[in-house]
Amino acid sequence: MFEEKTPENIREQILAGMSNELDKREGSYTSDLVSPVAYEIWKLYDTMNELIPIAFVDETSGAYIDRRCAEYGITRKEPQKASGYVKLTCSAASESRQVPVNTCFETNEENAGKRRRYYSTEAVTIKNGTALVNVEAEQTGTAYNVEPGTITQLQTALTGITVQSITNEKAVAGGTDDPESDKDLVERLYKRLRDPGTSGNASHYQQWATEVPGIGDAKVVEEHMHLYRDTGSTGAAQYAEVDPIYVKTTNGSGSTVYEKRDIPLPQISVYVIGPDKRPVTDDVILQNCWKHIDACRPIGVNVNVLSAATKRIDISVKVELLGLATVDQVHDDFCTAMEDYIKKIAFKEKSLRYNHVVNLLLNVNGVKDIGDLQISGVSSAPSTYAAGDAEAKNILFAENEVPVLGNVDVDPYVEPAGEMT
């Protein structure tokens, strides 16, 4: 912003404003007197450049991202600890005794140094020989998300309690790794400013969903439940959740009739994906998201929080090489480019564009030409762009779907005699 303000330019401007009767040549008393002042003024201008990422927050703004977000009630999502429960089966002599809070349970690795530890979050009384103990991981991270039957032992024995077996009947989940990145936090801030949530609109539900650790983006679909009121010939009202509603009215001749009326009740489905732009398979994260939205939502609205469905993208292609890269290198570079493309369009675009994939392939280093490209069964680009043709070869997504890269086969093209087809 102040690139033209160099120590030399500032010095010349100061000297230009002084009387010509003074000796202003290089090395003169006047020049030596002005030079340190010009340098100090330049340092001030240089420091003022740092105000730009403070006033206009972006990924380079560092700590000022959090400060700006705090003005709008947005906080950086922190890593989370996995949680769940373990079931203890105990002897009859242990009945009515308590499993203390902070009791340490461990996974079943033979190497003690590799065991993951989980601590009970509350004291639980043993009843009918069993106790269901809520536990939380010792540290944050996905490494503490474990499958059922993984937590099977105590770190130390419980005084007065004979434990016959320990297991986690369900997965212990919900652990997340790194704090929210500067990029993702800035995107949430911009989303709040550009598309503010108001009065429980779709943007509001998306905002609430993405405030939860483990949620990277959300799509809100408004659906409806319908109330059925059947008065029948007797006029006795009966209610059930089906489509039509019957309302008592009077026709032109004055006779009483019962007309079908469709009165929808609001229901919101929030489909979510993780920070990696893939469906969320962790039930704890989904539950946390629902609880957060349920605490914020308007009264009278039913909310479902669901993981996005997967739209698998399988690709096969033959490539003609320039000799600058191997087929394996082309495969890896293309997969990286496809992953980036898929992340950009998840919940943002309604289709994966065939021609965009062609463009990605042709821009991979070492690729001269391509042929026999198939994307999830689609094998050729549209020949014309008449009505409807432009979308004919694109891979369409349902409202609740996000693309996930499946098998990618890249094979070298061996030209038999003529040009590649």
pLDDT of residue 228: 45
CA distance 305 to 296: 14
Alpha-carbon separation of residue 362 from 95, 100, 209, 392 (angstroms): 71, 63, 38, 21
Buried b (16+ CB within 10 A) or exposed e, 200-238: bebbbbbbbbbbbbbbbbbbbeeeeeebbbeeeeeeeee
Q: What is the average pLDDT value for the chain, to the nearest integer?
A: 85
3-state helix, strand, coil in the chain (%, to 5): 30, 30, 40
Please name which of 232, 197, 163 lies closest in space to residue 73, comparing C-alpha atoms: 197
CA distance 140 to 83: 10
pLDDT of residue 385: 41
> Residue holding tokens 């320990």?
166
CB 264 within 8 A of CB 300: no
| Residue 247: both structure tokens together | 């309302």
CA distance 48 to 145: 47
CA distance 177 to 179: 7
According to DSSP H, which parts of 211-353 are helical?
283-296, 327-345
pLDDT of residue 19: 85
pLDDT digits (tens, 9 = 90+) for 371-396: 889 998 777 544 444 444 546 688 99
pLDDT digits (tens, 9 = 90+) for 172-230: 999 998 899 999 999 999 999 998 888 888 899 999 999 999 999 999 988 755 544 44
Single-letter amino acid, residue 286: L
Looking at 176-236, which runs of residues are DSSP E strands?
217-226, 228-229
| Residue 95: both structure tokens together | 């009945």
CB 352 within 8 A of CB 403: yes
pLDDT of residue 259: 56
pLDDT of residue 382: 45
Positions in the chain whose pLDDT score sits under 70 = 1, 224-266, 380-392, 414-421
pLDDT of residue 256: 59
pLDDT of residue 300: 75
pLDDT of residue 111: 85
pLDDT of residue 245: 45
